[in-house]
Structure 1
Amino acid sequence: MTFDGQFFKFDENCSYYLVKEIVSKYNLTVIRSHDCDSSESTFCPLALTVTYQSFRVFLTQAETSGTPVIVVHINEKRIYPAYSNSVLLVSGSDMVITVEIPEINTKIIYRGSSFSIDLPYSLFGGKTEGQCGTCDNSQPNDCRSPNGQVETCSDSAGQWQVPGTPCVAPTAPPATAGPVTSPQSPPSPTQPTCRPSICDLLTSSVFAPCHPLVYPGAFLQSCSSDVCDGGNQSCSSLEAYATQCSAAGVCIDWRNATGGLCEHRCPSDKVYLACGPSVEPTCNDRYNKKFQADLSSSSTETKEGCFCPPGSTLFNPVYDTCVTSCGCVGPDGKPKQPGETWTSGCNTCECDPDFMSIQCEPVPCPAEPSPDCSEPGQQLVNRTDGCCPTRFCECDVSLCPPPVSCPLGFQLSVTNRTCCQSYDCVPKGVCVYNMTEFQPGAKIPTSGTNQSAVRPPSEDSFKPGPCQECFCGPTTDPNTNLNTISCTAIICDTSCSEGFEYQPSADRCCGRCVQNSCFFSSENQTVQILQVNTTYVPPEDRCVQYTCQEINGQLVTKETRTTCPPFNPLDCKPGTEVTDAAGCCRSCELKSVCEIHSEPAKIEVNGCVSTELVNITSCVGHCRSSAIYSAAADSMLYSCECCRQASSHLQPVLLTCADGSSVRHNVTQVESCRCSREECSANTTKGPKRRQR
């Protein structure tokens, strides 16, 4: 039912906004969802999330020994009502929880299967949206969609799903008992054809004291809908109505009138009360006074639930234990009865029945004989393991002799004794030479490899000769307990690869191969070997030659490449082609050629273009030129001829401009060509190019 009293049925199982401010002012939202237990998919209780300022209150149910129990979390931390902070006041029982926000005079009541939300009209009138509608005492605009369009409640309800939240599918969808307020005038519910007898209790004498204060019509309609639509949640409508009656100050003890259908079973140590206190008294006097003061304004309101029976008191809301005496509290925070004993640390404690206080004494320890710690390095040590001290022998290594230092070729062998360790030097199975250890098979550096031989006293018998190769052997010298060293004469290999020659060494037994030729790769990727100061010209390229030179002690290959002037045999007079002495460059006596060349093109002048292609003629070719030495002038004499037109004429061409107008333009057309003499400019002939590699 909406704030303005409009009833509708909605059974979808997603997360939806119940209350949301149209324009956020108080930062209040209320969301309904289903909190399904991941280990038990059939248990999906209705849950509410109330967000106000920086606080997030999550109301749900959890199964304890098969019985649903209301659980409250604030900012992800579980709290146990009664609870209060600077903004919130939470009170209630195992069956109903009330969340009050005094700053904005708001109250949310949660029963697990139903809930109600009360907002002050002075603060929220016409300012809310969501499944609960707009709080403005006008039913026609209750069911708005998020875009502000007014629709039927069943159509708009599903549009208030909270983005990004999953939907669940409980096996038995709980009935939706919408939030209720105290309507100013009773609505006129439509009587369904189906009329369950249990729903008649709402209009019977059982609830008669509440009728003047809270009209039962909407709850009767909800009850009939729950039962007639195949559900089994008829008790939820009666619970919701009883809760509203209690909030109005009238407590109704109605469950016995249902013939056991809506019976609520309590744990064995508690009893059911239809009109229990809003905050059950505990053994904590400060807790009792605090919440009695907080709830003094609503002292007439009662809560339905399971409470401690007469003659007992709730120890505290966390442990939820009923005690007959509030005298003692154990170290774990749990109650202790008079005369009860327990062990705390290393003390045996008792709840003294006379003084109602805890008396503790140390745990008695048995007498144990002292151990014998007369062995070398041992000392008597006392250690407390648990509550009682124990004595035992402990080895103090500082009292043991230090390890010995072993000579080269030996290693320390340690043997464990009762307390201290014994030390011996045992051979490693290695050779020792020049203060260095060598494994069997390892080569020994001798004077033949430019190493100075410094032998320890234990190696006086080992005297390697010059140019000997020595190795560490596998046998052991019985006198030194070290492996013996065997030597053989070094045989030098004097053969060298092509391009290298063998050179003896003054400070080594054997010489080495020294490079005496240049190595390079020719154009065909063939590796060539070239002696010093010799030249090689590859047959496939006569324009390049390679020379091997020694520069600063390094062998360097120099590459010299000749660049030939352009040559075209078609330009030569027949029979005049020759090749230079190196076989690289070709030359000939050029013949004079000067001919007319024609090429079609469009003529464009000042943006005006010919409409058709025009054959443009030109003189193309080369004429005779020469350079000869003159002894009389003691210089070079040059003779130059250029290919020019011999005769031409003007050809008129019609051009079309961009504005559509036409102009005539004369194009010079060549009629004949010839070679004509011209002045020559002095030229220099470039020498061959050289490069080094």
Structure 2
Amino acid sequence: METSVFFFSQIYVNHKRVYPAYSNNDFQITDNGIEALLVIPAIGAQIMFSGLQFSIELPWSKFHGNTEGQCGTCDNNRKDDCRLPNGTIDSSCPDMAHHWRVNDSCPAPPPPPPPHTCPPETICKIISSKVFERCHEVLPYIPFVLGCEFDVCNIKNPSIGCASLQSYAQQCALNGVCIDWRSATDGVCDFECNAPLVYEACGPQVEPTCDLRYNNRFIKDETQFTALSSMLWEGCYCPEGTTLLDHESHTCLPSCDICFIPNGKWKQVNESWVSGCDLCTCQSEPNLSPTVICKQLPCPIEPPVTCDQVGQVTVTETVGCCTQDKCACDVTSCPSQKHSCPVGYSQETEMGVCCPKHTCVPNPVCVFNNTEYLPGNSVPMRYCENCVCSDKLENDGKLHAIGCEPIKCDTYCPQGFELQEIPGQCCGKCVQTSCVGVYSGNLTHTIPVNGIWTPPGNKCVKFECLKIGTQFITIEARTVCPLYNPQDCIPGTEVLAPDGCCYTCIRKCNVTKESTYLQHNGCTSSKKVDMSTCQGLCQTSSWFSSKTRMIERSCSCCQEINSSKKEVEMVCPDGSKFNYSYDYIELCGCLQSKCTTVEKAVIKKLRRRR
């Protein structure tokens, strides 16, 4: 079975939280852990709140015709209870309720869910059953049954009807009839109280506590609220045989013969304890709550104190809860003694009873020019000597001695560097004067500034040394030879380039023949003749020249080497004939030509296209 969801109230009066029972000159608030009841005698109002539901009881004599909205119209006519603000009557009170909203920032509630088929039997029947039979005579139950069935039929939650049963039980209690109804719901409407409190169907409106003053005020004393003090209703109470400690706690005690102490705990009657400097006892008082009686703890008798040392004075101090005399030192009464120690010494103070005694003891240091140096540290004592504070003591056995040795200079300089003297320093410094070229993996060669050097056996590599500011930069230039195959050369044209790096020759390129008719001034050859052209790829390359410090280019193209003159008979449209001579290429080769940059070549090509 599902268990109903309940809410616990937090009650504030003038923005300050109060713990019922609470009362002032205007109203009284009680809370049983399930419902909170507010009674205002001046207007006869009783307001009961339990989480998501509340009820307001108003006297007919004071509020006839003075209510509207969700409270309905106080005229004993239920037909106009669903009146809207404009005066018309709505057929549905749930729909009417949404028209009586307070103007605040809260979002509008969702519309009621569509109705669905009601179960054949619901807990709503308990209201009209014998469980509430004693209340039927004092309070009509039909409206509560209708409200219960409306909730159960529109909300798919069996426990939603518990609110209507609880509301009817509340009104029964206010009319003097307390009903134990939750046990008849087969667990659907069970209520669990916070331990150690337990549920009681019919308990007092104000539960007695161990605080007699509280009991007298809210239970025994006659007040304007006494008429309701005999009302019984459901709530959370201390188990049988125990009593609530006070109205702000959920502590249940087997006996109220206790005294409250400031830390929120309690002591039993006749129990004694020490609190600060007091011995306290919980004593019973006739017709009153037990009272805490405290007396100051006695102090022991101390023997007299004699303070006869230099700088001593007698003072009185508090130890625990008692005072006692003792000897203390007054440094202002010590003899004046100014004392300072030389460099390398520390002042050591030996305390007497009250006044100090000063002595100078040597520190484990060396001293030079009024400066202390720890053993192992360098001392700038002599030029071109390395002086160090040693672990040995001087002849007087006090301070540490300083040992000096000539500074040993390193005269080795790496390749490309020279040792040069530096004014004001004992040792020279290696200064770079040239570049170092590395070749064949690990071989090196010194290159002077602005000098160019070619490694032996490799004419295609050149090293140049440049000095830019204080930086020495070695530039390595490698000549990449164009592809060379003697078989591509015309025999006898193979030569080594002047730089001794690359081989070159006049490369072969093919003679291509094509038979065609010659055209000249509108005349055509009488027969096809063989026309020859040079076609083939020739080497072109670029490289950086360390000598000119520019990009060098080498370009060659396929050109004729040998050619001959041939003749052919030409026939004109008018029938005339004549002999025409033309050049016939016998042999082609790759010949050197002037290089043109790609950009210029492209520009020229574009111009030709235009």
TM-score scaled to structure 2, two decimals?
Answer: 0.49
Larger radius of gyration: 2
